[in-house]
Amino acid sequence: MPREDYNLKTEVVYLLNKYKIDQSDLVFVDDLELLRSQGRVNVHLVDHNVPTDSQADLASKVLSIVDHHNQDCTNDDK
């Protein structure tokens, strides 16, 4: 999600605050281009079970999925 949408995910904000995980510790979609250019991308999808079309190149980098939907990612073993 874009960094500017973070506060809209009130349940996520609540849980991360509860465990003292600061927003500055998170990586948002806005940060991906820089990380891609540095070759430093491993992905954990949260509240989303597949990369978007614009992020399809990241499918092989998905390490885990935390979502209530069926896991529909190409990485069946994740």
SS (H, E, C) 23-47: HHHCCCHHHHHHHHHCCCCCEEEEC
Q: Does 72 reside within a domain?
A: no
Q: Which two tokens stand for residue 73?
A: 């990612």
Q: Does 78 reside within a domain?
A: no
Q: Does 16 reside within a domain?
A: yes
The tally of domains found in the chain comes to 1
Q: Does 71 reside within a domain?
A: no
Instruction: Kindly give the confidence (pLDDT) of every residue in the chain, 78 residues in length, as a single tens digit, with 9 standing for 90 and above.
Output: 899 999 999 999 999 999 999 999 998 888 888 888 888 888 888 777 778 888 788 888 889 988 876 655 555 544
Q: Does 23 reside within a domain?
A: yes
Q: Does 56 reside within a domain?
A: yes
Q: Does 20 reside within a domain?
A: yes
Q: Are 3 and 28 in contact (CB under 8 A)?
A: yes
Range of the structural domain that residue 55 is part of? 3-66
